[in-house]
Amino acid sequence: MAHPKRKISKTRRDKRRTHYKLGSKQLFTDPKTGEVSEYHRLNLETGMYRGMQVLPPKDEI
């Protein structure tokens, strides 16, 4: 098994991990309702996903 010859300092370790941060989520505005929501998410209020009716609207349930 391979072992490191020298201890990696905290600074070097943290420099390597700087790219792991989260980016901002992509949002879009629904043309029918005008709501802002995330991509690839079902709108539970209207039951719509990508312009198709997937679930009955919340007021019908």
Confidence grade of residue 12 (pLDDT, cut at 50, 70, 90): very high
The alpha carbon torsion through 15, 16, 17, 18 (nearest 10 deg) reads: 50
Largest Cα span, the chain: 66
Confidence grade of residue 5 (pLDDT, cut at 50, 70, 90): very high
Q: What is the pLDDT of residues 34-52, one digit of tens each?
A: 888 888 988 888 888 888 8
This prediction's pTM: 0.47
Return the domain boundaries, the chain. Answer: 25-61
Both structure tokens of 34: 């005008």
Mean pLDDT of the chain: 85
Q: What is the mean pLDDT of residues 24-35?
A: 84
Contact between residue 32 and residue 48 where contact means Cβ atoms under 8 Å apart = yes
